[in-house]
Chain A
Amino acid sequence: MQASGENSTKESVGKEEKLSSVELFFYRLKLWLKSSRPYLMVLGLALFLLFWYVTTEVLALPRFEKLPGPTVVLKEWLSRDPDYGISIYTPEYYQHIMKSVMRVLQAFGLATVLGVPLGLFMGWKKTFKDYSFPILETLRPIPMLAWVPLAILMWPSRESAIIYLTFLAAFFATTLNTLLGVESIDEAYFRAAQCLGSKPRHILFRVVLPGALPFIFTGLQISMGVAWFSLVAGEMLAGEYGLGYLIWNSFIMVQYPVIVIAMVTLGAIGWASSSIIRFVGSLLMKWKVREAGL
Chain B
Amino acid sequence: MTQNIHEQNHAKNKTGSVCPGPTTVRGKISIRNVTKNYDPDGANVLALDNCSIEIEAGEFCVIVGPSGCGKTTLLNAIAGFHGISSGEIYLDDELLCSSKKTAVPSADRIVVFQNGSLFPWYTVLENVVYGPDVQAKMSKSQARKAAEELLEQMGLRGILHSYPSEISSGMRRRVEIARAMINNPRVLLMDEPYRAMDALTKTVMHKHLLDIYDASCKTVFFITHDLEEAIFLGSKVYVMTTRPGKIKKLINVDIPRPRDFRTLSSEHYRELKLEAIEAVHEEAKKAFEAGERELA
Contact = CB atoms under 8 A, between A and B. Distances in A.
Q: Do A and B come from one complex?
A: yes
Interface stretch (B26-34, B165-173, B220-228, B233-241): B165-173
A124 to B, nearest CB: 16
A14 B157 CA distance: 9
A194 B110 CA distance: 9
A8 to B, nearest CB: 8
Nearest to A292: B165
A186 interface: yes
B107 to A, nearest CB: 4
A146 interface: no
A238 interface: no
Nearest to B114: A188
A191 B135 CA distance: 16
A123 to B, nearest CB: 16
A286 B130 CA distance: 18
B244 interface: no
A196 B171 contact: no
B53 interface: no
The A interface is mostly helix, strand or loop, or mixed, namely helix
Contact of A11 (B105, B119, B171, B180): B171
Interface residues on B, range: 35 or more
Given A192-B117, A195-B79, A195-B107, A202 B162 contact: no
B134 A7 contact: no
Contact of B119 (A8, A191, A207): A207
Contacts of B159: 13-14
A151 to B, nearest CB: 39
Interface string A265-294: 000000000000000000001110011000
Contact of B113 (A188, A210, A285): A188
A152 interface: no
B90 interface: no
B238 to A, nearest CB: 23
A82 interface: no
B171 A192 contact: no
A196 B130 contact: yes
Contacts of A202: 134
B109 to A, nearest CB: 7
Interface in B176-231: 179-180, 183
Contacts of B169: 7
A199 B117 CA distance: 18
B134 A199 contact: yes
Contacts of A99: none
Nearest to A194: B105
B20 interface: no
A185 B225 CA distance: 27
Interface string B103-140: 00111011101010101111000000011001100000
B130 A10 contact: no
B134 A196 contact: yes
Interface in A177-195: 186, 188-189, 191-195
Interface residues of A, number: 30
Contacts of B167: 10, 13
A95 interface: no
Contacts of A213: 121
B171 A206 contact: no
A186 B135 CA distance: 23
Contacts of B113: 188, 191-192
A15 B119 CA distance: 24
Contact of B163 (A193, A195, A206, A291): A291
A188 B165 contact: no
A197 interface: yes
A132 interface: no
A117 interface: no
B2 to A, nearest CB: 18
A11 B179 CA distance: 19
A283 B172 CA distance: 24
A198 interface: yes
B249 to A, nearest CB: 30
A47 B121 CA distance: 44
B121 A210 contact: yes
A213 B171 CA distance: 25
Contacts of B80: 194
B81 interface: yes
A211 interface: yes
B158 interface: yes
Nearest to B185: A195
A13 B162 CA distance: 9
Contact of A195 (B111, B120, B166, B171): B111
B103 to A, nearest CB: 11
B257 to A, nearest CB: 27
A186 B117 CA distance: 9
A188 B166 contact: no
Which of B130, B135, B179 has the most CB atoms of chain A within a 10 A radius of its CB?
B130
A192 B111 contact: yes
Nearest to A188: B117
9 contacts: A10-B168, A189-B119, A192-B111, A195-B107, A196-B110, A196-B131, A197-B131, A285-B121, A287-B165
Interface of A: 7-8, 10-11, 13-15, 186, 188-189, 191-199, 202, 206-207, 210-211, 213, 285-287, 290-291
10 nearest A-B residue pairs (beta carbon): A14-B158, A194-B105, A210-B121, A291-B165, A197-B107, A192-B117, A188-B117, A196-B131, A197-B135, A287-B163
